[in-house]
Structures are given as structure tokens and as C-alpha cells.
Amino acid sequence: MWEKNILNNSSNYADKIVTPNYVPVLDDGSINKEIFERVLSKKEINRTYELLKRGQVAISEYLDFKSYKNEFSVCNGIELLRALGHPKNLEGIDFLFDCLCDVDEAFFLMAVDLLKTYPRADREEKIEENAKLAFETGDVLKLAGVLYLSKQLDYDCKYIKQIREEQAENASVEEATKKADDAVKKFELDEQALFGSGEVQEFNPTGVAYQEQE
């Protein structure tokens, strides 16, 4: 994360874009919306984390993926979940799966890395749930992100495995049907050639054609 690295390592740059007196919660009790608009420095993340730890603000306030205005600010939410640790950050698992919506976004790999630390059962349940939803809604980018995570965890998604097996079975049925159709067409052509030739003399009562004997 180049932008986050600059914030953390360059005091000059940070002074220009980081609010000197940044406070996570405003006087009216609402959270500071800056967290949704720009990348917070480590110090600012820590200030927010301290309030979370003391119960002065709920982590749910930061878990609406759509509230974040750009791909870089989403990283703030991921960093807060990382700071919280288990089991408190379990509430954020859906938020992290929302972050799998596009493999090219800055927050994608951060979300994958954090999800690797979550309990196996929770991860696998969400992989199945999100893979099914992405497939059924045609969300190709989200499905790619979920399958990438699945591969990183060396987990074979059961839903996708079932879909692939069904597709393979359908392909086999289609192939068998095509062969049957081809056989029928070939028979019809052979029959037409036979009945149209001068070699056929007549039909017997059973409808079977016989050739004129030499």
C-alpha cells in the first residue's frame, strides 16, 4: 500500500493530509467521517482502536463497506479489525468478504491476509455462502476474489465443485445426445440413398426393402 506507507513513513507528507487533532468521535457522539474519506496514519488508527477497546464506539460503525469513499480508505476498516484481533473482530468477517469484490483494488490482498487468521470453520462457511451468491448473481469479479481466497487457504469450495460436476455431466449428456442425433441423420441419409436406388425392387409386407437378386 504505497499511500499508507507514505503516510506512516513521511512526516512531511502526513502533515499535509492528516488532521493534526484528529479525533475518532466528535463532540456530538458521532464518529469522525474522515475515516471513510482518506487513509489514516498508524497513530490515527490507534486512537480509534483505543476507543473501540474501551467500548466507547462500536466496531459496527466502521463495517459498512459502501460508506468508504475510495479503495484506500477501505484499508482503515481492515486495519481496525486487525488491531482488534480475535474474537472481537469476528463481527467484521462480512466486511472482509465485501473487500473481495475486485482483485485489482488496493484493499483486496489486505483482506485476504487478514481472513487467513480467522477460524477455519467461519472462513469456509463464508466462502460457500459468498461463492453461491456471486455465482447466482453473475458477479464474476466477486467470484474470482472468493476463489482466490479459497485457493490461498487450500480449500476446495464445495458449491463450485458441485457446479463443475453438474456442468461436466451436462456436457456428457449433450455429447451423447449429439452422437445420437448424428446417428439418426446418418441413418436417414443411408435410407434415402437405399430407397432411391435402382437396386430396390419392391417392399415386402413388413416394410423391409430387399434388393433384386442377381
The number of domains in the chain is 1
Is residue 52, in this structure, part of any structural domain at all?
Answer: yes
Is residue 30, in this structure, part of any structural domain at all?
Answer: yes
Is residue 40, in this structure, part of any structural domain at all?
Answer: yes
Is residue 86, in this structure, part of any structural domain at all?
Answer: yes
**464445495: which residue's cell?**
158
Of the given ranges (3-7, 100-104, 108-112), which has the lowest mean pLDDT? 3-7
- Count other Cβ atoms within 10 Å, centred on residue 169: 10
Alpha helices by DSSP H, listed for 57-203, are 74-84, 93-98, 108-115, 120-137, 140-152, 158-195
pTM: 0.72
Which pLDDT band, with edges at 50, 70 and 90, does 191 fall under?
low
**How far, in Å, CA of 100 to CA of 103, rounded?**
7
**435410407: which residue's cell?**
191
Closest CA to 48 of 20, 24, 26, 30: 24
Average pLDDT, the chain: 82
Cell of 121: 470453520
Closest CA to 128 of 155, 104, 108: 155
Is residue 101, in this structure, part of any structural domain at all?
Answer: yes
Is residue 55, in this structure, part of any structural domain at all?
Answer: yes
Q: Provide the residue range defining the domain that includes 33.
A: 2-118
Question: Which amino acid does the sequence have at 151?
Answer: K
Is residue 214, in this structure, part of any structural domain at all?
Answer: no
Q: How many CA atoms lie within 13 A of 165 on its CB side?
A: 6
Of the given ranges (52-56, 155-159, 205-209), which has the lowest mean pLDDT? 205-209
Residues 81 and 89: beta-carbon distance below 8 Å: yes
Is residue 197, in this structure, part of any structural domain at all?
Answer: no
